[in-house]
């Protein structure tokens, strides 16, 4: 099955809202819940379909709230989003799963990994949005990011207008859309979006995400600009975060803060790299997840086998009353 043949699926949540998603890669593989950026859609992860098959990963790619096929709740919060993702993984029969997030999806992925810490096997964050509302955090931001996460969220109409303009450019002039997407970007990101195959993939994901309107970006910026309501310090899973030092789309200082906030998180800084590094290096991220998950699974299976052997040989754990 090719990525293009992967079917859309819909989950009806308990309150009647729709949650759209696709499952790429190895349908019988280790589950990886991967969350797209701002804007974006379930189509974002089509690029990793073949790598997911080779690495034994079932990549569960939902549309986040207000994007693509997914409805938003009346009062969005990151903990509530985590609840929706737990319902999705329950529906798919996944008791334990890895979580990943790209760009704006990083905040949501962190929320899932914190709120459902015992269920999460790995956390991968690529060019993620980090916390900006803490003491001293906003002062470390560039003037552009202070505007994005300070002034702009106070005017949802302004956010909607900006993304409506971007959505119109996606429909009428992909070349203009690519220019707008890299307006503040460095040379490496501009070169990536100049490649037709990357532009088609990325802009197509943006277009699908915004096809029903601008509700998704409005929710994102509102949530990013305030305290998240979740504590990254309670994440239990092995975690790794990749951030380009020349990333202009998300605040690099906030991504570093996020890495420091997650226990044991490995921070990989990418010199001179920009926001779209993952477009050419997604396999590195998926390979890390696969290695981490499969290693943990092997360790658990070995421990279970040892316990069975001790039980059969009359060892310390053989007494059911112990």
Residue-wise pLDDT for 101-143, tens only, equals 999 999 999 999 999 999 999 999 999 999 999 756 777 899 9
254 pLDDT higher than 70: yes
Q: What is the pLDDT of residue 319?
A: 32
Q: What is the pLDDT of residue 138?
A: 73
pLDDT digit string, tens, across residues 172-189: 999 999 999 999 999 999
Average pLDDT over the chain reads: 92
pLDDT confidence tier of residue 296, bands split at 50, 70 and 90: confident
The pLDDT tens digits for 52-101 are 999 999 999 999 999 999 999 999 999 999 999 999 999 999 999 999 99
- Burial classification of residue 149, based on how many CB atoms lie within 10 Å of its CB (0-12 exposed, 13-18 middle, 19 or more buried): buried
pLDDT at 317: 39
pLDDT of residue 123: 98
What is the 8-class DSSP label of residue 238? -
Orientation of helix 196-209 relative to helix 156-172, angle to 10°: 130
| pLDDT for 322 | 27
Predicted confidence (pLDDT) per residue in 309-320, tens digit: 554 555 433 333
Domains, the chain: 3-312 (3.40.50.1820)
In order of 44, 59, 263, 278, the CA distances from 3 in angstroms are 11, 11, 35, 18
Share of the chain above pLDDT 90, in %: 86
């Amino acid at each position: 099955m090719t990525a293009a043949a992967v079917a859309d699926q819909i989950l009806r949540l308990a309150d009647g809202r729709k949650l759209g998603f696709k499952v790429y890669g190895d349908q019988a593989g280790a589950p990886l819940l991967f969350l797209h950026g701002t804007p974006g859609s379930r189509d974002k992860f089509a690029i990793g379909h073949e790598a997911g098959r080779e690495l034994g990963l079932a990549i569960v790619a939902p549309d986040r709230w207000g994007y693509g096929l997914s409805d938003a709740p009346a009062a969005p919060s990151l903990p509530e989003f985590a609840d929706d993702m737990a319902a999705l993984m329950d529906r798919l029969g996944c008791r334990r799963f890895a979580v990943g997030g790209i760009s704006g999806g990083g905040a949501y992925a962190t929320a899932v990994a914190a709120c459902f810490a015992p269920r999460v096997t790995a956390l991968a964050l690529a060019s993620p949005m980090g916390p900006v509302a803490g003491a001293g955090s906003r002062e470390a931001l560039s003037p552009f990011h202070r505007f994005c996460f300070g002034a702009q969220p106070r005017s949802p109409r302004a956010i909607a207008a900006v993304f409506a303009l971007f959505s119109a450019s996606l429909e009428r002039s992909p070349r203009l859309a690519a220019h707008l997407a890299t307006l503040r970007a460095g040379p490496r990101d501009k070169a990536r979006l100049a490649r037709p195959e990357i532009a088609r993939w990325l802009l197509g994901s943006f277009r699908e995400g915004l096809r029903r309107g601008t509700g998704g970006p409005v929710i994102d910026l509102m949530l990013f600009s305030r305290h998240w309501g979740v504590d990254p310090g309670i994440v239990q899973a092995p975690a790794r975060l990749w951030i380009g030092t020349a990333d202009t789309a998300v605040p690099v200082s906030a991504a570093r803060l996020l890495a420091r906030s997650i226990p044991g998180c490995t921070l990989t800084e990418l010199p001179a790299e920009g926001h779209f590094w993952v477009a050419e290096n997604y396999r590195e991220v998926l390979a890390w997840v696969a290695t981490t998950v499969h290693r943990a699974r092997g360790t658990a299976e070995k421990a279970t086998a040892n316990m069975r052997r001790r039980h059969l040989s009359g060892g310390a754990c053989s007494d059911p009353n112990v």
